[in-house]
Structure 1
Amino acid sequence: MKQTSILLFLTLSMVGFSQNGTITGTIKDNSQSALLGVNISLKNTAKGAQTNENGYFKITNIKQGNYILVISYLGFKTKTLQINISNNESLNLKTIHLYEGNEILNEVVINGERTNKFSRKETAYVSKFPIKDIENTQVYSTITHDLLESQVITTFNDALKNAVGVENLWASTGRGGDGAGYYALRGFSVQPKLVNGLPGITNGTINPANIERIEVIKGPSATLFGNAVTSYGGLINVVTKKPFVGTGGELSFTSGTYGLNQVTGDFNTALNKEKNIYFRLNTSYATEQSFQDAGFRKSFFAAPSLSYKVNDKLSFSFYGEITQTEQTNPTFLFLNRSAPSDAKNLKELGYNNKLSFTSNDLSLKNPTQNYRIEMHYKLSDAWQSQTLLSKSSTSTKGYYSYLYDYGILGNNTFTRFISKQNANTQTTDIQQNFIGDFKIATLRNRVVIGIDYLNVTETSNNSGYAFYGNVMPNGNVNGDNPFTTEVENDTYPLSTTGVDAVLATKSIGNIKSKYHIYSLYASNILNITNKLSAMIGLRLDRFDNKGSLVNTEDDFDQTTLSPKFGLLFQPIINKLSIFANYQNGFTNVAPILVGNPDNGPQTLKSFDPEQANQFEFGIKTNLFNNRLNTTISYYNIKVTDRVITDPDSPFNKIQGGEVISKGFEIDINTNPIKGLNIKAGYSNNDSETTKSDNIQILNRRPLESGPKTLYNLWANYQLQEGTLKGFGFGLGANGASERFAINYESTGEFILPSYTIVNASLFYQTQNYRISLKLNNAFNKEYYKGWTTINPQSPRTLLANFTYKF
């Protein structure tokens, strides 16, 4: 009887096993070269794989039936094959050839094994057409969804700690114009203003629940993106989650120290039986307190998206982000920018960083909406049309306060000023791109030709700022107004009633301003040989500033040419490249009144746009079957034509100011063994104002440059076999050298100390769920960031996350 049971069990096992098949094959291009990293998926299933360095792939455990095999690769035409899997069949497709095309791939979602999960170097946004990183002269860092998941990321600031050479200067305050914060990048401040390659602004923080990846594009990039959403250091592009073929999603709950509770949801499904319309919804609700004595943030977020494939040539997409956020603004300590402070460092300041100097009664609301519509039409095998429309609206409503050391009362006394904010910013952007991939003789050309229209309208009905008491960093308060001769001792309660009573005497602003930007740009990557390529681009930019709509005197316009050029050589094709680039950025300069007023009326003098030019060279690798991706580069950025006072006449202005920013960066993403993923980066930046009429900043490091040295590391390992299979842990660190909070001739220096922060995680993961514990700032390091400000950072926090995937 026992032998019969065993035989029956073995027979049933063999029958079950016999229903599973295998597909194998090799993918090559038209020149018979193997293609690495090609996505192969079975349509309407979760099965898939990627090719190795020999172009080989294998998909296992496939049930018998008819399938459509989808083969897609960046820069090549997608191929579909109808296949049939019989019982226990091993189907060898032998060699499949892909041909060069210019199809911009949608997000490919597969559950097949993927190496190097912290590296995502294929993108259609950086160059506005599909190109692999190994053949792109542009340098950029990518923060993937897998990395965000492994670190239990709940804030955008924490996400950007993974980007090489990026440091938060100024947290998002909720105030109009402050946006999602300011960051130092290659010696210059930058704000996150791009979503899926289009303008997407906010006055509050960016919710990470809808982020597929973050692309930090380095260096002046005005040629393709203009100057309104970029800085001389680069730009930050958020790529959102998009609908995919299939049904699925996830539910996630995160709870942590200081009252953090966050629920997120992600659901994707087809909307019709033809399955050519897919809908995806990402949503989140979060509440959080502060580590200080007061402060909170609560937010609701919804991001609906829709994709409609009309036919093989025409498709439409819609993306939206709707955010409702309320928070207390972080109350920075603003250091004196014109005279020495009593304290020269944090020890002398006596700062109790557990004090917020605000109350939960004084908050700001930041309702924000971003919408984008895309239409893709395949004109021919060589050309594609891409039509894009984005609209955004972000507002600030509530109470904003700041503390400033005027140096009048002494004893490190900071004076509080408070305003009631009511501001709104609206943007409209329309782009039309024609994207081509064709050969002239034997030379391959990948081209984008586009036109871009951007309109920005800003409205402000803010109240004036009112004096509202003084505080000292140790918590002492007094009510002596430093701008009156009398000594006062009034009290100033941190309540809406008290603040409204003081603000009742302040006038309400009524300001509306507008500007338009009209642009034409073109870029081409020319493959001179299969190893040598050249990139050239040019932008014609027309800036039409209307300024205040009630004042025609501040209107002005400028026209600018912005070029870029690059060379790239691949000694080992698709594995090693050596590159050099020249990139340009610019800033429009408003006319200025010049002339001695004693000799008659002053006149407006116009100026050329301020220019930034970067020269950069380095190497990129993609070695060991995509297990080692590195970028090592050196850059030199020179900013010229800054408006300064004419040394020959104090009543005249000339363009002669200069700033130089140079440095090198190392970006490493590696998967040395199965289950282990590592992301590491190091940057060193040397910035200096070399020419200026302002003795306060001449030959000094600009404050927006941030720390000279930055480094980041995160390693994540998951056990692959045995009884503990699925368990894993992560360990990493972020650090920075000391930086200037103040660095002027008249004030001297106020230096914020260096820091190294250690983070760790522990998790268990299966196909359907993940349980994680994350410890941030494990050693409870006290550290600060700032930009003429002192902004204390969060102490040790513990996060717990549960995610269910379906």
Structure 2
Amino acid sequence: MFAMWTAQAHAQTTSTTPNTALPKIDVTASADATTEGSGSYAGRTATIAGKTEQAIKEIPASVSVLTRQRMDDQNLTSIQDALKYVTGVQSVDYGDGTAYYKSRGNYLSIEFDGVPIIGGLQYLQQFDLAMYDRIEVIRGPSGVMDGVTDPGGTVNLVRKRPQDTFHVSTETQVGSFGSFRQAIDVTGPLNKDGSLRGRAVVVGSDALQSVDRTRQKEVMAYGAIDYDFSPRTTLSVSGGYQVNPINGLDYGASGVTDADGNLIGRVPSSYSQNFSPSWNYGYTSLYEVNGNLVHRFENGWKSQTTLFYRHELAKSDYAYAGPGATADGLTFFGEQKQRNTYDWWGADTNVTGPIKAFGQTHTLTIGANYSLESSTADSGFVALNGPFDGQTFSLFDPNAVEKADVPFAFGSNNRIEQYGIYAQARIHLLTPLTLVLGAREAFLQEQSQPTIPDVTDWSTQAQVNHRFLPNVGLVYDITPAMTAYASYSRFLTAQTATTYSGGLLPARTGEQYEVGLKNSFFNNRLATTAALFRINDNNRAITDPNNPLGSIAGGKSTDQGFEFEVTGQPLANWNVYAGYTYLNVNYENDMPNLTDGTDPKHLFKLWTKYLFSQGTLRGLSVGGGMLAQTRISRGVEQGAYAIFNAQVGFQFNKHVQASLNLNNIFNRDYYIRPPGNFFSTFGARRNVMLTVRSDF
């Protein structure tokens, strides 16, 4: 969120494509896991678990792939909306174009085309999904590849690549809240022999939101070039730029408190109420450049090196309500002014290839990666009084809150550096049995320097040197269509809390145990995964019982549960996705924070679409889905709810199609983030989206 102070070549799907479907798109051999043009919700392979394409059924972990087809069918254009429809993931909006993301009771980390970027996901604006081919998610610790991270899992955003045939597509969307979006995507060869290929994606949108008076605009441009120095060596370079201004941003109302300050309920209002003055605004700009060099050796080995840089500027000036409110909506308001900058540098280099021994062919990956986040944070705060000194404002008349002159009163420079070397071996013990061994030697340092009101020396908040992170898994192919697996992995998470005397706390440590069963059906068109997991999280920072102003590493938590996912095409014209998660979180000698209360015990997600390819209904498609979860709480409880969506579409010819989506059919009122002492976020009301796509 803008208020950062509150937290810190294509494995083509084999299916029969009807004449009414979009033409199949051929892609270059360097993008084996590409989902664009597959027409399927199932991703057969993923790169997130080992830096190279691996069959999902052979990965001893829970992996989901959100394909380009499903993003298009559900009109998913932001990472917040996309991750809401990934099994086991909580995507909790903050009302300002950002969100926080959790899985298995813990935060998620992020990769961009396999390059881990520390601190690059939570509460931050991300690029429009028009520039991505797919989203890969691995649930559970992934420290071998990513380093010192939270154990919830990792999101890998995989960019679209240039294609070797000319292709242009457009997308026009009009929404019932008063929104308009236009996207254009052009790709193809740039020279006669096709060794140089390019791609350009441009998006513009202007959208009113479900909450009254909130308006968010976006302009995004993405470009990529691939050049084949030879049939075995390819250089890929890409860059992106995006701006997101938002007016009337609203962080919602705080909960109702009693005379002792205890939360007892929510302020009665419509679920479209904007509780902030109209002068609230935010602005985010981000740009990135990425370079990747791949060489494929004749003996089956492959080397690749990727360099990545991203910059983000987030500035805002807004009033928000709290702490607490009376039952009739009277509360204090404060004005917050902020300016944050972030610079991320990332690098990853690795080699992967086969080794023959003992009559079997094994696979070895060896690599190293580096991630640096440098950031600045300037902020100021003013408590706003009512018309008479000491009086409160009404949440139902927020425009009575006048803007103040807020100087920056706090400022800091921050630096988080992480690097490590890693290795992974896939050892075929027997024809149906594979042992997966992974290891990382990890290094991390976190530093900060106050700059406002005075510039002082840098201090170290966290230091990790020569920490060994292992991972081991077993994969057993019971039949060609059924695979069982078991895995164990350790994780390490740095902590910024300090002792009473100012000393650093040891890092959080823990491990995950997971067992699962993966199946494929209908000639690999449909896949299922069932998994049991348990995460033990130790050394969590808790308040020092002898010195309340300090912390000690004495907390523990256990996150355990069950996940089930089915995705793919049971019939050639029928796509389906469904995911269910049961999560039970227990704390020992520890207290959950305000984000822990947004983990529902039961979470179910569904989307399906069927295309008629024959008869009088030829070209017609129907689809729909739901999202259902049990209660959550941040002091005020949001009860269990289910949101239902539907879609109808028509393929006019092989070039033009249109669809009409009806979201939240029954206009269910609910909170995505229920009220606490500060902040809350409403779920979107019933709305309609008309989408027209062309493809040439």
Indicate yes or no: 2:158 matched with 1:239.
Answer: yes
TM-score (ref. length: structure 1): 0.77
Q: Structure 1 residues 183 and 238 mapped into 2: Cα distance closer, same or farther (>3 Å)?
A: same
SS at 1:224's partner residue?
helix
Name 1:304's counterpart in structure 2. Answer: 223
Q: How does 1:106-117 map to 2 (within 5 A)?
A: 107=34, 117=40
Structure 2 counterpart of 1:657 = 555
Work out whether 1:323 is the aligned partner of 2:239: no
Name the residue aligned to 1:29.
none
Aligned mates of 2:61, 2:209 — CA distance in 1: 39
Give, in angstroms, the shift of residue 380 of structure 1: 4.6
Shift of residue 253, structure 1, vs aligned partner: 0.5
Greater relative contact order, per chain length (Cα 8 Å cut-off, separation 6+): 2
* Structure showing greater Rg: 1
Q: Secondary structure at the match of 1:370?
A: strand
User: Is 2:601 the counterpart of 1:703?
Assistant: no
| Inter-partner Cα distance in structure 1 for 2:245 and 2:100 | 20
- Superposed, 1:278-317 pairs within 5 Å as 278-317=197-236
Q: 2:405 aligns with which of 488, 503, 508?
A: 503
Report Cα offsets for 1:537-593 as digits up to 9, x if no partner: 1111111223217323446522222111111101112x1100111122221134734
Question: Which residue of structure 2 lines up, in the alignment, with residue 755 of structure 1?
Answer: 641
Q: 1:793 aligns with which of 668, 683, 687?
A: 683
Per the TM alignment, residue 775 of structure 1 is displaced from its structure 2 partner at its CA by 0.5
* TM alignment of 1:441-452, pairs within 5 A: 441-452=358-369
Matched, 1:383 2:301: yes
Q: CA 1:803–1:278 in structure 2 vs 1: closer, same or farther (change >3 Å)?
A: same
Query: 1:495 deviation in Å?
Result: 7.9
Which secondary structure state, in structure 2, belongs to the residue aligned with residue 723 of structure 1? Answer: helix
In the alignment, is residue 537 of structure 1 matched against residue 438 of structure 2? yes
Q: 1:456-481: CA deviations, max 9, x gaps?
A: 1111233x111235xxxxxxxx5566
Matched to 2:264, the amino acid is: K
CA–CA distance in structure 2, aligned partners of residues 344 and 194 of structure 1 = 43
1:172–1:204 contact (8 Å) kept in structure 2: no
Q: Is the 8 A contact 1:278 1:308 kept in 2?
A: yes
Q: Residue 61 of structure 2 aligns to a residue in which SS?
A: coil
What CA distance in whole angstroms lies between the structure 2 residues aligned with 1:123 and 1:241? 15
Given the alignment, which residue of 266, 270, 273 partners 1:352?
A: 270
What SS does the aligned partner of 1:671 have? strand
What is aligned with 1:727?
A: 620
In the alignment, the residues of structure 1 paired with residue 419 and residue 115 of structure 2 have an alpha-carbon distance, to the nearest angstrom, of 17
Q: TM-score, normalised by structure 2?
A: 0.88
SS, match of residue 230 in structure 2: coil
What is aligned with 1:587? 493
Structure 2: distance between partners of 1:740 and 1:59: 47
Query: What is the distance in 2 between the residues matched to 1:491 and 1:59?
Result: 55
Tell me how far 1:702 sits from its aligned partner. 7.0
**Residue type of the alignment partner of 2:517:** I
What is the CA distance between 1:339 and its match in structure 2? 9.0
Residue in structure 2 matched with residue 151 of structure 1 by the alignment:
74
Structure 2 residue 681 is matched with structure 1 residue 805: no
**CA offsets per residue over residues 633-657 of structure 1, 9 Å max, x none?**
0100110012345667779854321
- Per the TM alignment, residue 192 of structure 1 is displaced from its structure 2 partner at its CA by 5.4
1:22-37 pair list within 5 angstroms: none
Once the two structures are superposed, the pairs formed by residues 292-691 of structure 1 within 5 Å of their partners are 292-328=211-247, 329-335=249-255, 344-346=264-266, 349-406=267-324, 413-462=330-379, 464-468=380-384, 479=387, 486-487=390-391, 498-499=402-403, 502-504=404-406, 506-548=407-449, 550-554=456-460, 556-559=462-465, 560-573=467-480, 575-590=481-496, 592-594=498-500, 602=501, 604-645=502-543, 654-691=552-589
CA contact (8 A) 1:480 1:490 kept: no
Deviations for 1:326-351, whole angstroms, at most 9, x for unmatched residues? 013332224489996566344xx313
Mark the CA change 1:296 to 1:489 in structure 2 (over 3 Å): closer, same or farther. Answer: closer
| Gap regions ≥5 residues in structure 1 | 1-37, 41-48, 61-69, 73-77, 79-102, 175-179, 470-477, 595-601, 743-749
User: Is this contact kept in 1: 2:498–2:550, CA < 8 A?
Assistant: no
Distance 1:108 1:164 in 2: 18
CA contact (8 A) 1:362 1:495 kept: no
Q: Say whether the 8 Å CA contact 1:185–1:705 is kept in structure 2.
A: no
Relative to structure 1, the CA distance from residue 192 to residue 261 in structure 2 (aligned partners, 3 Å threshold; closer, same or farther) is farther
Aligned to 2:332, the other structure's residue is in SS state strand
Residues 263, 324 of structure 2: 8 Å contact kept:
no
Cα deviation code 1:216-246 (max 9, x no counterpart): 210111121123xx53211222222111111
Give the 3 Å change call, closer, same or farther, for CA 804–492 of structure 1 in structure 2.
Answer: closer
Q: Summarize deviations over 1:30-75 as a string: whole Å, max 9, x none.
A: xxxxxxxx979xxxxxxxx7668xxxx9999xxxxxxxxx999xxx
Q: CA deviation at 1:193?
A: 6.0
Conservation of the 8 A alpha-carbon contact between 1:345 and 1:752: no
Task: Verify: 1:182 aligned to 2:103, yes or no.
Answer: no
The secondary structure found in structure 2 opposite 1:344 is: strand
CA drift at 1:188: 1.8
Q: Could you tell me how far apart the structure 1 residues matched to 2:17 and 2:507 are? A: 55
Aligned residues of 2:435 and 2:474 also touching (Cα < 8 A): yes
In structure 1, the partner of 2:60 is 137
Look up the equivalent residue of 1:537 and give its one-letter code: G
Residue 764 of structure 1: how far off its partner (Å)? 1.0
CA distance in 2, matches of 1:608, 1:593: 10
Cα distance between partner residues in 2 of 1:779 and 1:142 = 29
**What secondary structure, in the 3-state scheme, does the structure 1 residue paired with 2:130 have?**
helix
Matched-pair contact (CA < 8 Å) for 2:10–2:31:
no
Post-superposition offset of 1:204: 2.2
Match of 1:224 among 118, 141, 145: 145
- Superposition deviation, residue 277 in structure 1: 0.8
CA pair 592-336 structure 1, distance change in 2 beyond 3 A: farther
2:695 counterpart letter in structure 1:
K
2:577 match: secondary structure:
strand
Letter in 1 for 2:445: D
Give the match's secondary structure for 2:210. coil
**1:70-90 deviation digits (Å, cap 9, x = unpaired):** 999xxxxx7xxxxxxxxxxxx
1:647-688 Cα offsets, whole Å, 9 max, x none, are 677798543210111110110014222311111111110002
Q: Is the 8 A contact 1:141 1:163 kept in 2?
A: yes
**Alpha-carbon distance in structure 1 between the residues aligned to 2:259 and 2:290:** 47
User: Contact 2:287 / 2:310 at 8 angstroms: preserved in 1?
Assistant: yes
Change (3 A) 1:492 1:50: closer
User: 1:322 deviation in Å?
Assistant: 0.9
Counterparts of 1:215 and 1:298, CA distance in 2: 27
**Deviation of 1:383 (Å):** 2.4
Whichever residue aligns with residue 762 of structure 1, its letter is V
- Poorly superposed stretches of 4+, deviation over 6 Å: 57-60, 336-340, 488-497, 648-652
Distance of 1:58 and 1:334 partners within structure 2: 51
Contact 1:419 1:465 in 2 (8 A): yes
1:382 Cα shift?
3.7
Instruction: Please name the residue that 1:93 is paired with.
Output: none
SS of the aligned residue for 1:687 comes to strand
1:372, 1:681 → 2: CA distance? Answer: 33
Residues 405 and 439 from structure 1, CA distance in 2 versus in 1: closer, same or farther, beyond 3 angstroms? same
Please give the alpha-carbon distance, in whole angstroms, between the structure 2 residues aligned to 1:623 and 1:293: 47
The one-letter code matched in structure 1 to 2:569 is N
**Percent sequence identity over matched residues?**
21
Give unmatched runs, 5+ long, in structure 2: 1-8, 20-25, 451-455
Shift of residue 734, structure 1, vs aligned partner: 0.9
Distance in 1, matches of 2:588 and 2:595, equals: 10
Quick one: structure 1 residues 584 and 339, their matched pair in 2 at CA, closer, same or farther if it must change by over 3 Å? farther
Q: Which amino acid aligns with 1:446?
A: T
Paired residue secondary structure (2:680): strand
- After TM superposition, the structure 1 stretch with the greater mean CA deviation from structure 2, 639-648 or 624-633, is 639-648
Alignment size in residue pairs: 668
Conserved? CA contact 2:659–2:690, under 8 Å: yes
